[in-house]
């Protein structure tokens, strides 16, 4: 026996440990441990005893189960153990059985078996602590952005009830000018009774005098003719003011998180920052979600890992490619897609690539997905070869 394969199945309150040898035999019965210090120290003692008994090392495997595996993962990482974290899809074939039986004990054994069959050639070390830190900051930022977006959606609904047509006058219902107008006009006692002159004074802080007068005139006409359902009036007014408060707090929190991400990226100073279209926030998501890009052997691997690879359907002589697989991190794909909008304007390589696809009749969104993949390949290339981005001579500005 050269190695012990320890499968860990984590749940909310505890985790199961199954230990198998090189022949896929269960060394000891599956044991339960708590998610606290005594429980983890007991696991250390048990595994240490088996290492001495069999005179071998151990590799640990676990499934990425939301947040429940993180404490034991960090404990093993600090102890210098070899760990592999499996995606649930990787373990699906190991868990399938003729009988519909699913228990934590069987899950732990399945993970140990997967670990046994997926050893050295496909084994990869855990991400660096600083990249895990950036990943969690990026995911926190994503949650804040989604909360702010939900506030906008609800505020749009409320204003459509109170004043149909208001949202057509502003590109963003929570733009500074729109928020100022709503604070001045959406009131319980004097709903939409703000004078045109007062609206001009409010809007003057955000636009030119002529622009504010035109918009104030439209708002005055809109407010004058609006019909408000009486039974919805009070609750919608209350909701609008609460949503504005929530949004303003979320924007402040978002600035704090983004500042921390930028500080982390500044310390790491990745080569991809030199790529037009990739700023500190985009770089933070790429590094956080993918880890060290140099661990990938090719652009094909990094494309598949991010879920930007096309699905393939093949049968006999028939071979078709479909939509992207969408496996991997949705935050990464969304970030790259949004970065593609900037890249087709400021990055000559991406701009020419986009124009070539459009000339072939490709849909705008299809072109943007292709540019997102191109941007990821460029980021991978500059990180792998450790050099700043440059525009090839054959690319015309």
d(CA 279, CA 138): 13
Q: From 28, 18, 27, select the one nearest 95 (Cα to Cα).
A: 18
Does pLDDT of 338 surpass 60? yes
* From 142-151, 160-169, 315-324, 344-353, the region with the lowest mean pLDDT: 315-324
249 and 319 housed in the same domain: no
pLDDT at 86: 84
In the listed set 257, 285, 306, which residue is the last one of a domain according to the structure? 257
Q: How many domains in the chain?
A: 3
Helices (H), the chain: 37-54, 70-78, 88-95, 104-117, 129-162, 176-185, 196-203, 209-225, 230-268, 280-290, 299-306, 330-346, 348-359, 364-385
Q: Which of 234, 257, 280 corresponds to the end of one domain?
A: 257
Residue 361 in any domain: the answer is yes
Q: What is the b/e burial string over 21-46, where b = at least 16 CB atoms within 10 angstroms of the residue's CB? A: beeeeebeebeebebeeebbeebeeb
Say whether both 8 and 54 belong to one domain: yes
Cα(276)–Cα(271) distance, rounded to whole angstroms?
12
pLDDT of residue 97: 59
HSE (CB half, 13 Å, CA atoms) of 238? 5
Same domain, 16 and 122: yes
Percent of the chain predicted with pLDDT > 70:
92
**Pairing of the two strands 31-34 and 57-63:** unpaired
Are residues 282 and 371 located together in one domain of the fold?
yes
Helix, strand, or coil here: 81? coil
Above 60 in pLDDT, residue 278? yes
Task: Tell me the CA end-to-end span of the chain in Å, nearest whole number.
Answer: 62
- For residue 265, the model assigns a pLDDT of 95
Q: What are the C-alpha distances in Å from 173 to residues 178, 185, 240, 256?
A: 6, 14, 11, 23
Question: In angstroms, what CA-CA distances link 252 with 79, 91, 141, 173, 336?
Answer: 38, 41, 12, 18, 24
Same structural domain, 290 and 249: no
DSSP character for 125? Answer: P
Kindly state whether residue 284 falls inside one of the protein's structural domains.
Answer: yes
Q: Please list the residues that pair with 86 across neighbouring strands.
A: 63
355: confidence class by pLDDT, cuts 50, 70, 90: very high
Q: Does the residue 396 lie in any domain?
A: no
Q: Quick one: 112 and 208 in the same domain?
A: no
On the CB side of 245, CA atoms within 13 Å amount to 6
Residue 248 and residue 157 share a domain:
yes
Tell whether 275 and 373 lie within a shared domain: yes
Per-residue pLDDT at 312: 74
Predicted pLDDT of residue 360: 93
Residue 266 maps to a domain: no
For residue 105, pLDDT over 80 is answered with: yes
Residues 30 and 119 in one domain: yes
38, 42, 48, 54: CA torsion to nearest 10: -170
Answer yes or no: is 390 within a domain. Answer: no
93-107, 219-233, 315-329: the lowest-pLDDT one: 93-107
Kind and range of the H or E run holding 35: none
Q: Give the range of the structural domain holding residue 342, as residue numbers without chain letter.
A: 271-385
Would you state the pLDDT for residue 147?
Answer: 97
Domain assignment present for residue 153? The answer is yes
Q: Is 287 or 395 the better-scoring residue by pLDDT?
A: 287
> Do residues 252 and 220 share a domain?
yes
**Does residue 204 fall inside a structural domain?**
yes
Q: Tell me how far apart the alpha carbons of residues 94 and 269 are, in angstroms, rounded to a whole number.
A: 41
This prediction has a pTM of 0.82
Point out the domain boundary residue: 99, 126, 153: 126
Looking at residue 127, its pLDDT comes to 65
Residue 162: its pLDDT value, please?
A: 93
Q: What is the average per-residue pLDDT within 364-392?
A: 93
State the average pLDDT for the chain: 88
Same domain, 141 and 120: no
Contacts (Cβ under 8 Å, ≥6 apart) of 231: none
Co-location of 41 and 104 in the same domain: yes
Region 219-247: what's the mean pLDDT? 92
Q: Which of 249, 281, 254, 246 is nearest to 140 (CA)?
A: 254
Question: For residue 175, what is the DSSP state?
Answer: S
Summarised one tens digit per residue, pLDDT across range 111-142 is 888 888 775 434 445 567 888 899 999 999 99
Banded model confidence at residue 100, pLDDT cuts 50, 70, 90: low
- Domain assignment present for 366: yes
The CATH number of whichever domain residue 117 belongs to comes to 3.30.420.40
Scanning 55-81, the segments in alpha helix (DSSP H) are 70-78
């Amino acid at each position: 026996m050269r190695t012990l394969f320890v499968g860990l199945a984590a749940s909310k309150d505890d985790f199961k440990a199954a230990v198998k040898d090189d022949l896929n035999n269960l060394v000891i019965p599956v044991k339960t441990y708590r998610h606290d210090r005594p429980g983890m120290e007991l696991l250390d003692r048990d595994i240490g005893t088996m290492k001495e008994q069999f005179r071998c090392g151990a590799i640990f495997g676990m499934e990425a189960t939301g947040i429940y595996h993180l404490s034991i993962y960090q404990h093993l990482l600090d102890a210098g153990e070899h760990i592999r974290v499996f995606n649930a899809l990787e373990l699906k074939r190991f868990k399938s059985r003729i009988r519909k039986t699913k228990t934590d004990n069987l899950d732990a054994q399945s993970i140990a078996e997967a670990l046994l069959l997926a050893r050295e050639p496909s084994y990869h070390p855990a991400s660096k602590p600083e990249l895990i830190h950036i990943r969690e900051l990026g995911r926190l930022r994503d949650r804040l952005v989604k909360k702010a977006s939900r506030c906008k959606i609800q505020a749009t609904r409320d204003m459509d009830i109170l004043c149909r047509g208001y949202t057509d006058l502003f590109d963003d219902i929570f733009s500074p000018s729109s928020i100022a107008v709503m604070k001045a006009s959406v009131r319980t006692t004097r709903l939409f009774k703000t004078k045109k002159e007062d609206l001009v004074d409010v809007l003057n802080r955000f636009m030119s005098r002529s622009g504010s007068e035109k918009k104030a005139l439209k708002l005055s006409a809109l407010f004058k003719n609006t019909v408000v359902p009486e039974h919805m009036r009070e609750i919608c007014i209350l909701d609008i003011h609460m949503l504005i408060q929530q949004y303003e707090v979320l924007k402040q929190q978002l600035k704090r998180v983004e500042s921390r991400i930028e500080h982390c990226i500044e310390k790491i100073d990745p080569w991809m920052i030199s790529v037009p279209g990739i700023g500190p926030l985009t770089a933070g998501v790429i590094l956080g979600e993918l880890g060290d890009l140099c661990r990938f052997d090719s652009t094909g691997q990094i494309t598949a890992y991010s879920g930007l690879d096309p699905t393939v359907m093949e049968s006999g002589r028939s071979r078709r490619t479909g939509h992207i697989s969408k496996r991997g991190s949705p935050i990464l794909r969304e970030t790259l897609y949004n970065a593609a909008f900037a890249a087709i304007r400021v990055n000559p390589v991406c701009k020419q690539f986009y124009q070539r696809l459009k000339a072939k009749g490709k849909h705008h969104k299809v072109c943007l997905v292709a540019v997102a993949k191109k941007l990821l390949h460029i980021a991978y290339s500059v990180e792998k070869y450790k050099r700043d981005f440059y525009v090839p001579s054959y690319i015309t500005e």
